[in-house]
Every structure is written in structure tokens, then in C-alpha cells.
């Protein structure tokens, strides 16, 4: 306790003398006072740009795949489905020259004789553009952007040669799948060695669809719309659940449970429907469409049925794409088909 005694005496002595209070401290916003403070180098950094950089670096995984890149894009930019055309703009766009998809003068029904062979008209090369060509040259800018970005990323992952081999294999698998279906649906041909067929996964995928198909009228057959001047090669015309349809067979590496996932395929189907209904080579009329998406792993295919009302809506969109192609061709931005 002794060391504390001098301190206590000192405090008593200080209490005897008055202590003047210090003047109040005021803050000034003058340039002089602000200049006295040392400026941090971090204040000059673009915070928004820095945050985006950090987020981009942290979001990258050890292995980049097309699926992971698309997921990353969804996080950074949001799902693509959110970017929709305003309803007013959609309603404002109507075909300038309307042409019906159905032919009032054609009331014929398909042949019911099972012994008759399906139509298989070869596609003739001429100056008339094909449905595929028209859709490719009028692809929406957003869809074209994502397709090109996907190609670039696949090239980065697989290399130029690897991507060329990948696309070649996809094309070959699709061709073999269509040939196998043609053999199955043709009454005069049978699929041999189905268990060892390279497309047995796709065939297994569509088994539940094939059970609902009958009265095949056309297989891999060419169609031409004389009035609208376009041609195409349809996959199949047959009855699905009792309704005559233009059927389009598709393969996919990922599920497509909704018709919106099929991009321009509905436009392709209705284009073939309109051509069939106005082509003199076909005595019958088609009022429905069907898109079947098959999977290599054998999982059940997704059927997308298009009734008369839905086909009419897509037909209006097809006429718009056809007018756009014609306008571009007039402006010589598209070379004429050989």
C-alpha cells in the first residue's frame, strides 16, 4: 500500500488548482484539413470492377465443362429464359402476307391399307431454299450468340480437331438413328441385330412412343410448298394416338422436357405440315405435329405433341421467318442456294 500514498497526495494537490477545460473540437470540411489526411491507394480502385473480378475468380472451378460454364453464366447474368420479348412487340409482329397452313381444297384421308408402302420422295436440288436453310439464316441474334459461344467453349475444351470429331459423331449418330427408325417403321424392312445396333440406346428411348404410332404414310420424304417456295425433307408422317402427324425425331445429350427446349424444331414441323397440305404428291392433309426427343442412355424420350391450335401459332412465326429470309435475300445478304 505504500507506493500508492505518493500518488494519492499528488492527486489532492492537483485538486487545489483549477484546470481550464480544453476548447471544443470542431471538424472542418475545408480542402486544407482534408489534404492533411493521407489518401489510401485503395480509394482509387473501381469497386464494382474489383467485385466482378473477385466473383469471377472465385466462381471458377478446377475443371471447366460446358455445363459448369452455363451454370456460371446463370449465376452472373441470370437464366436466359428471363430475357423475353415484350408482349406488345410480339403482338405487333404479324406476317405481312398471310397464307393458311391448312388446305380447304384437300379433304383426302390417308390410306388405311397396311400393305401399301409409305411415300419416299427424293429431295431434288434446285434454287428453292430449304426449311433448314431458312431457319439457319434467320436465327434470332440471342440464340445465335449462345450457339456461337457454346462452339467457342467446346473448341477450347476439345480443340479444333476434337470439336470437328465431336460434331461428326453427333451427325453420324443422328443419321444411324433415323435409318434404324426407317427400318422399324417400314412394313417391308426389319431391323436386324437390334441388340447390337449402335443406336440401341436411342431405340430403347423411343419404345413407348413407337407403340403409339401406326398407319405410316411417309418416311424420309421430300415436300415442296409451291406457293411459298421452299422445300424440305420430313422424317415421318404417321398416326400418333389416332391423329395424323408430321413427326420429327431428335436426339439430345440433355433432357428437353418442354417444347420450349426444342428451339426452332416446332417451326420446322409446321413448315413441313404446310408443305404437305399444299403438295400435290400427298393426297392427305396433316393437322398435328409431334417432336420426339430421344436419349442415348435409353431414358424415356420426351414427346411434344402439337395440336391444331398450337400449330397455327407456330405457323405465324414461321411465316415471319420466311419473310425475313426473303427480305435478306433481296438485299443480297444471303447467297442463293445452289
- Whether 259 is covered by a domain: the verdict is yes
Q: Give the torsion through C-alpha atoms of 259, 262, 268, 272, to 10 deg.
A: -50
Q: Could you read off the pLDDT of 94-130 as tens digits, one per residue?
A: 888 899 999 988 876 776 655 578 999 999 878 899 9
Of 135, 112, 99, which Cα lies nearest the Cα of 266? 135
- Cα separation, 255 vs 261, in Å, equals 9
Q: What are the CA-CA distances from residue 222 to residues 74, 78, 124, 183, 217 (Å)?
A: 40, 41, 8, 18, 13
Average pLDDT for the chain: 79
Active site residue 74: no
Domain count, the chain: 1
- Checking if the pLDDT of 297 tops 50, the result is yes
Active-site option among 109, 151, 192, 250: 250
Active site residue 297: no
pLDDT (mean) for 40-59: 66
pLDDT confidence of residue 79? 65
- Cα separation, 169 vs 76, in Å, equals 32
Q: Could you read off the pLDDT of 208-228 as tens digits, one per residue?
A: 999 999 999 999 999 999 999
- Cα separation, 219 vs 116, in Å, equals 13
Domain of 214, in residue numbers: 118-330
- Checking if the pLDDT of 31 tops 50, the result is no
- Whether 73 is covered by a domain: the verdict is no
- Whether 96 is covered by a domain: the verdict is no
Kindly report the CATH number assigned to the domain that includes residue 150.
3.90.320
Active site residue 235: yes
- Whether 1 is covered by a domain: the verdict is no
Active-site option among 161, 204, 235, 317: 235
pLDDT confidence of residue 63? 56
Active-site option among 161, 175, 248, 256: 248
- Whether 212 is covered by a domain: the verdict is yes
Q: Could you read off the pLDDT of 141-179 as tens digits, one per residue?
A: 777 777 788 778 888 888 888 878 878 888 888 889 999
Confidence of residue 316 (pLDDT cuts 50, 70, 90): very high
pLDDT confidence of residue 308? 95
- Whether 33 is covered by a domain: the verdict is no
Amino acid at each position: 500500500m505504500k507506493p500508492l500514498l505518493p500518488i494519492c497526495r499528488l492527486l489532492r494537490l492537483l485538486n487545489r488548482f483549477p484546470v481550464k477545460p480544453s476548447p471544443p473540437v470542431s471538424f472542418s470540411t475545408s480542402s486544407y484539413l482534408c489534404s492533411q489526411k493521407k489518401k489510401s491507394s485503395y480509394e482509387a480502385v473501381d469497386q464494382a470492377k474489383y467485385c466482378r473480378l473477385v466473383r469471377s475468380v472465385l466462381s471458377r472451378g478446377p475443371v471447366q465443362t460446358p455445363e459448369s460454364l452455363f451454370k456460371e453464366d446463370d449465376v452472373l447474368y441470370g437464366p436466359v429464359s428471363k430475357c423475353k420479348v415484350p408482349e406488345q412487340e410480339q403482338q405487333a409482329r404479324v406476317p405481312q402476307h398471310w397464307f393458311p397452313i391448312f388446305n380447304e381444297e384437300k379433304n383426302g384421308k390417308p390410306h388405311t391399307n397396311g400393305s401399301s408402302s409409305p411415300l419416299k420422295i427424293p429431295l431434288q436440288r434446285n434454287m428453292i431454299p430449304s426449311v433448314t436453310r431458312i431457319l439457319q439464316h434467320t436465327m434470332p441474334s440471342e440464340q445465335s450468340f449462345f450457339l456461337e459461344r457454346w462452339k467457342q467453349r467446346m473448341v477450347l475444351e476439345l480443340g479444333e480437331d476434337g470439336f470437328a470429331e465431336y460434331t461428326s459423331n453427333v451427325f453420324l449418330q443422328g443419321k444411324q438413328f433415323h435409318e434404324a427408325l426407317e427400318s422399324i417403321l417400314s412394313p417391308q424392312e426389319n431391323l436386324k441385330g437390334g441388340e447390337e445396333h449402335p443406336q440401341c440406346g436411342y431405340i430403347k428411348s423411343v419404345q413407348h412412343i413407337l407403340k403409339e404410332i401406326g398407319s405410316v404414310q411417309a418416311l424420309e420424304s421430300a415436300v415442296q410448298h409451291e406457293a411459298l417456295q421452299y422445300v424440305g425433307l420430313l422424317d415421318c408422317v404417321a398416326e400418333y394416338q389416332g391423329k395424323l402427324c408430321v413427326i420429327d425425331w431428335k436426339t439430345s445429350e440433355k433432357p428437353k422436357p418442354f417444347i420450349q427446349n426444342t428451339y426452332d424444331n416446332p417451326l420446322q414441323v409446321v413448315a413441313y405440315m404446310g408443305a404437305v397440305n399444299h403438295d400435290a404428291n400427298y393426297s392427305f392433309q396433316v393437322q398435328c405435329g409431334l417432336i420426339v426427343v430421344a436419349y442415348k442412355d435409353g431414358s424415356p424420350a420426351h414427346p411434344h405433341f402439337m395440336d391444331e391450335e398450337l400449330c397455327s401459332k407456330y405457323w405465324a412465326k414461321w411465316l415471319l421467318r420466311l419473310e425475313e429470309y426473303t427480305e435478306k435475300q433481296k438485299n443480297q445478304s444471303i447467297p442463293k442456294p445452289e
